Amino acid sequence: MNRSVAVGLFVLIGFALFTAGLFLIGNRHEAFQKHLTLYTEFADLSGLAKGSKVEVGGMDAGRIEEISIPNSPSSKFRVRFRIIDTFRGLVRKDSVASITTAGLVGDTYLSVGPGSSASPSAVPNSTLGSKEPIELADLVGQAKGTIADVDETVKNANGLLTSVGGNLNVTLGTARGTLIDVDDVVGGLKRGEGPAGMLLHDPEVASSIRRTIANTEQVTSSLRITADQTNALVNDVSSRSIPQKIDDVLVSVRDAASNLDSTTKAVQTTIAELTQPDEHGVAAGVNLRDAISNVSTATGNMAEDSEALKHNLLTRGFFRKRGYYTLTNISPAVYRRDRLSASPGNHRSWLGTDQLFHQASNGTEELSSAGKELIDQELAKYGDAVVSHPIMVEGYSAGTNTVEKIETSRARAILVRNYILSRFHLESMSVGAVALDDQPPKGAGRTTWNGVSIVLLSRAR
């Protein structure tokens, strides 16, 4: 019995260790986690292989699952990889995948850069933009060419400096010969040889000769300093790390060109997605135009239906109580029949044409400054009621031609309505304008008028 128990415990412990090892190995290879599958494409893999790791933002996030070989030189290797679902928030549509090497001789892996916050998250099985790898051999070759050019430049500079040094040596030799000649002349002068020797007794001449000798020595010293500076210039050019600086500039230019290429591809992909046809083969522009047309038709139908409900016998009371009744498009016939137009509780201001308008330079009527002040004075009498009650501007014209009376009365009503709206900042639906020719509604207190009547309605319509 004890032996059976020991065997059982041994089997259980072995099974537990096997399960724990399986779990650890699966967890190591992310076998029990949810993944997001994505694609990218490269013209050159640079050693990237199936099973290579994938990093997102510098952190291990997944593995390369498969690499599809292109069927033509113009095509690219299509790389399928997966990442842990927790990195989904970092991978966006504008994320760029690149092939990176750990150090100079380390393993090659796929690096995915986090996208921008404004871009949507990458959907499963979508293709990310890529950045082609930069081969070290190409950089070394370019660096060798650059170094060769710099070496040639330094050689030319050395030749030029050698030539300058030779010319300086000739000049120095000439200067030395001149000094020797000057010494001979001075010696002769001191010995009193020739007529010039007599000048030695003249203090001014002796002083002038001394200054000439001092200046000659100064010129010689300056020539030596110039030669030393030239040699220092040659040494400085040779000691500077010019090849390394030029190589850094080339790498920066190459990276900028690669980023521009990735951006161009992303823009092209977005345009292609927006303009591609739907499942029925209809272009995106046609679908957008049809959608706008349908929305316009629907809103027009809704406006017509709501307007019909406003005038329906059963529902117009509901709209009147809730302020849905608008005065902006009421017709003269409906306005004359409405009992509110001639209600005794209305406040009316009768303003004549000569009080409100004057003729503009183009021959049309416009509100005068005195007319605007008169309108302000009339509405100021009603206080807060101007804001809480609807206002109707009735336009009148005393002309003989019916068409002319309609046009003139309407133009006058609209001019005054627009001024009231802008002056008192009222809602457009609560201020109306109606053209009534020259005949006010029955019960308004007048049988004819030429000008405008501002009516403050006694209750909400």
Cβ(310)–Cβ(327) below 8 Å: no
Whole-number pLDDT of residue 152: 78
Cβ(34)–Cβ(83) below 8 Å: no
Considering the domain boundaries, does residue 449 fall inside one?
yes
Residues 367, 357: Cα–Cα separation, whole Å: 5
Find the mean pLDDT for residues 218-237: 59
Considering the domain boundaries, does residue 184 fall inside one?
yes
Find the mean pLDDT for residues 245-253: 55
Cβ(390)–Cβ(427) below 8 Å: no
pLDDT of 289 higher than 80: no
Considering the domain boundaries, does residue 145 fall inside one?
no
pLDDT of 234 higher than 60: no
Residue 37 binned pLDDT confidence (cut-offs 50, 70, 90): very high
pLDDT of 132 higher than 80: yes
Residue 359 binned pLDDT confidence (cut-offs 50, 70, 90): very high
Find the mean pLDDT for residues 179-200: 59
What token pair was written down for 329?
């498009």
Q: Of residues 58 and 32, which shows the higher confidence score?
A: 58
Residues 427, 347 share a domain: yes
Considering the domain boundaries, does residue 319 fall inside one?
no
Considering the domain boundaries, does residue 142 fall inside one?
no
Find the mean pLDDT for residues 110-117: 91
Residues 199, 114 share a domain: no
Find the mean pLDDT for residues 304-331: 55
Cβ-proximal residues to 330 (8 Å cutoff; 6+ apart), any chain: 432, 434
Whole-number pLDDT of residue 30: 55
Least confident of 232-236, 317-321, 362-366: 317-321
> Of 4-8, 148-152, 330-334, which has the strongest mean pLDDT?
330-334
Question: Which of 136, 169, 195 is at the close of a domain?
Answer: 136
Q: Is 347 helix (H, G, I), strand (E, B) or coil?
A: strand
Residues 406, 335 share a domain: yes
Residues 212, 114 share a domain: no
Whole-number pLDDT of residue 402: 87
Residue 452 binned pLDDT confidence (cut-offs 50, 70, 90): very high
What's the mean per-residue pLDDT of the chain?
A: 76
Least confident of 93-97, 109-113, 184-188, 409-413: 184-188
Cβ-proximal residues to 339 (8 Å cutoff; 6+ apart), any chain: none
> Of 137-146, 162-171, 370-379, 423-432, which has the strongest mean pLDDT?
370-379
Residues 350, 233 share a domain: no
Cβ(379)–Cβ(437) below 8 Å: no
Whole-number pLDDT of residue 79: 95
Whole-number pLDDT of residue 88: 86
Whole-number pLDDT of residue 336: 85
Considering the domain boundaries, does residue 114 fall inside one?
yes
Count of Cβ atoms closer than 10 Å to residue 135 Cβ = 11
Q: What is the DSSP string of 374-439?
A: HHHHHHHTTTTHHHHS-EEEEE----SSHHHHHHHHHHHHHHHHHHHHHHHT--GGGEEEEE-TT-
pLDDT of 271 higher than 60: no
Secondary structure letter of residue 198 according to DSSP = G
Residues 203, 210: Cα–Cα separation, whole Å: 11
Find the mean pLDDT for residues 69-94: 91
How many domains does the structure of the chain reveal?
4
Characterize the bridge pairing of strands 77-84 and 59-68. antiparallel
Using alpha carbons, list the distances in angstroms from residue 171 to 65, 159, 211, 223, 252.
77, 18, 21, 8, 48
Residues 409, 452: Cα–Cα separation, whole Å: 8
Q: The CATH number of the domain where 448 resides is what?
A: 3.30.1330.60
Whole-number pLDDT of residue 18: 81
Residues 38, 60: Cα–Cα separation, whole Å: 16
Find the mean pLDDT for residues 333-340: 83
Cβ(82)–Cβ(65) below 8 Å: yes
Considering the domain boundaries, does residue 295 fall inside one?
no
Least confident of 54-63, 80-89, 222-231: 222-231
Residues 369, 423 share a domain: yes
Whole-number pLDDT of residue 34: 85
Residues 123, 20 share a domain: no
Considering the domain boundaries, does residue 102 fall inside one?
yes
Question: Which of 240, 260, 284 is at the close of a domain?
Answer: 240
Give the per-residue SS3 of 51-101: CCEEEECCEEEEEEEEEECCCCCCCCEEEEEEEEHHHCCCCECCCEEEEEE
Whole-number pLDDT of residue 89: 86
Find the mean pLDDT for residues 284-289: 60
pLDDT of 460 higher than 50: no
Residues 41, 10 share a domain: no
Residues 103, 57 share a domain: yes
Q: Of residues 253 and 173, which shows the higher confidence score?
A: 173
Whole-number pLDDT of residue 204: 64
Q: Is 35 helix (H, G, I), strand (E, B) or coil?
A: strand
Residues paired with 321 in a beta bridge: none
Residues 229, 124 share a domain: no
Question: Which of 240, 264, 297 is at the close of a domain?
Answer: 240
Residues 83, 173 share a domain: no
Find the mean pLDDT for residues 392-405: 90
List pLDDT tens digits, range 419-447: 999 999 888 888 999 999 888 988 888 88
Domain boundaries, position 132: 33-136
pLDDT of 282 higher than 70: no
Residues 67, 6 share a domain: no
Q: State what percent of residues in the chain have pLDDT above 70.
A: 57
